[in-house]
Structure 1
């Protein structure tokens, strides 16, 4: 069996993932550079979202490796809060996974405040926050939910405040503007010095050690032994000042992660794509997500809409079920698809397909149900069989309404598909996420403007089709 698995992966690149923050992307690029030096093709699926998405993708084989932290592994993923390195390695081995030695720096969670605000309130440790219930806490969304995050911290310190969740990188802007007083930090964040922040002492030692490591699938040792060996050789080579300096180059000096990683490895920087080239590539990816999902939805939703119109009682069940799908949070649906389809375009297409069903089913049903009874009776009176009536009379009469539903589904898909970047699907969401992470308006617009233009183009195209698809005589008959 092992031979069959290795044969199935033969010739495939090693796939490394990274979370949606700069340090993780940098460590991913270092792993790519190590592969380049060893002559191994390594594909980097960047900023795939949070810890759980990466962990699930690693276990299911959608990615082969990703950078992680021992504290997260022990408390959040394996639920072994007191485990040492040996115990963690043993638990990983049971799951077919391995771990490199610690890379050399500890990137622990912390809480931080602006220095002037901390001085004003005489706060230098986390326990002192309990005496200031009015402080506004803005914590990263993942930290709000983690086992080793806000719920446990609040209980350990008896903190009276409630907290709002927001993107980690946007939290710094909130702190700078004064809209929040306290945020969670990573101890190697470049912004700590840049914004002159005070890191509050964890005086009750709540946070564990978060030593950076790489997790990887055990079969990589057989598929790309030189790469896994070189990756393991990185243990102890990246200290905290070096990591903080690399983060600063990306976040504050606007250097690409790949170039910063290559410089640290002593390699020539890879040639980066120009903006037009990047937009063209993302456009093709986005069109693929929207086009394939919409095409699949048409194949399923049009018959369902016809069925709903022909069988009113059963049709209400169909409309209700597709309506429920539309109410599900879009990001949750994307993540739910990962166990079925892995990381990449497939789960995004599956999620977009589900979101396309309701507008098409509903409008197909409404278009057919809204055909005047006298027209249907006339078609039946002249002896047209049901199938012929459907294709020659009813569908042409309902075509405008049906196309309006398809247009709605297509426009929704163009916007929703940007979330696919969180699970490695690419598209316009990729520069938007990178721009948010790097506080780079240009990158955000690089994804947002083409996405808006694509939505307008899709809407215009379907409006033209709506005017032309129904024969003029049938349009006049429907109005009379």
Structure 2
């Protein structure tokens, strides 16, 4: 269920991670494999060319901390003075810090941020969400840089055995077999518009049974592995997808809104070198790579060290 419902949920989600398929075991949920390159709205003024300084914050879970270090390192390579303030809390806390100037930037999830800023939206694809997000952000003295193709979004995920048995690659493929299968996920999935109601109305998919599961990722992936459920709502950067060869089914009708990684800045803080650094990361970060990095952190690696290594590998740092 969408980032960031609560700090407790998010931390539990990363532990497996249940957060918010993915390249490697599946395609990106909306089929968009490129980074966002849409031009900012015509009304936006050109960015200052001085390097400037910024404090980048993060939500209180490891993936968010990792992302803050990735974007911070790339901005430093463009001459920006960067401080990092991680683990601020859930969205209401770090957005308040962004608005009052305690921080100047934070990595976000495009669909969730748009929902927060606009109080609802019908946009679902990466580009439509981003276009609306640019406008919504501008109204609140905020500005987003390019989005990454990397997403941390809900997926309907099955084991490789189940995918092979029923020839599943898309949620639509479940229509003829879902009546034999059990779906597991957080209890709200039963009623939220993009959950079971959308599976039925959009795809004609009705599962035999729904099993409410704790948001803990370990509980969900264990239930999927031991056959307690046949399909589960799992976030696309969950390390379990790679570890256990799970298959995240494509979502061609976009019942789950795009959740591309995107940095958001105070408009009066953002400079061109900051944007250039962030855009360099976004242009290279896809879901599979993000999931690999998240897995390393979940296995005990330091987020700062993990980010620095990736930046060196991509030649995005001066170190």
Query: Structure 2 CA distance, aligned partners of 1:59 and 1:144?
Result: 35
Q: What displacement does 1:110 show?
A: 1.6
- The Cα shift of 1:115 comes to 1.8
1:218 paired to 2:267:
yes
User: Conserved in 1, the CA contact under 8 Å of 2:60 and 2:86?
Assistant: no
Contact 1:111–1:184, Cα closer than 8 Å, also in 2: yes
Q: 1:255 to 1:214 in 2, by over 3 A?
A: same
Alignment of 1:167 with 2:215, yes or no, is: yes
How far off its partner does 1:28 sit? 1.6
Q: Give me the whole-angstrom Cα distance separating, in 2, the residues matched to 1:255 and 1:226.
A: 29
Tell me the TM-score normalized by structure 1. Answer: 0.44
CA contact (8 A) 1:102 1:211 kept: yes
Does residue 18 in structure 1 map to residue 63 in structure 2? Answer: no
Structure with a larger share of its residues in strand: 2
* Structure 2 residue corresponding to 1:242, chosen from 253, 275, 289: 289
2:141 counterpart (81, 92, 96): 96
- Partners in 2 of 1:129 and 1:226 — Cα distance? 49
Matches within 5 A, 1:342-361: none
Cα distance change of structure 1 residues 48 and 146 upon mapping to structure 2, 3 Å threshold: farther
Q: Give the match for residue 115 of structure 1.
A: 160
Report the Cα offset of residue 94 of structure 1: 0.4
- Distance, in Å, in 1 between the alignment partners of 2:66 and 2:285 is 12
Q: Does the residue aligned with 1:213 lie in a helix, a strand or coil?
A: strand
How many Å separate the matches in 2 of 1:249 and 1:206?
30
1:236/1:62 CA distance change after superposition, 3 Å: same
Q: Deviation of residue 135 (structure 1)?
A: 4.0
Whether the 8 Å contact between 1:28 and 1:46 is mirrored in structure 2 is no
3-state SS in 1 of match to 2:84: strand
**TM-score, normalising length: structure 2:** 0.63
Task: State whether structure 2 residue 95 is matched by structure 1 residue 66.
Answer: no
How much is the aligned-residue C-alpha RMSD, in angstroms?
3.7
Structure 1 runs, 4 residues or longer, greater than 6 Å off: 141-146
**Structure number with higher relative contact order (C-alpha < 8 Å, ≥ 6 residues apart):** 2
2:97 and 2:183 map into 1 onto residues whose CA distance is 31
Q: SS state of the match for residue 221, structure 1? A: coil
Query: 1:262 is matched with which residue?
Result: 308
Match of 2:183 in 1: 137
Residue in structure 1 matched with residue 81 of structure 2 by the alignment: 40
Alpha-carbon separation, structure 2, partners of 1:130 and 1:46: 44
Residues 184/233 of structure 1: CA separation in 2 closer, same or farther (3 Å cut): same
Displacement of 1:15 in angstroms is 4.1
Deviations 1:241-297 (A, max 9, x none): 43233233323x532221110111229xxxxxxxxxxxxxxxxxxxxxxxxxxxxxx
Aligned pairs, number: 252
If you compute each CA radius of gyration, which structure gives the higher value, 1 or 2?
1
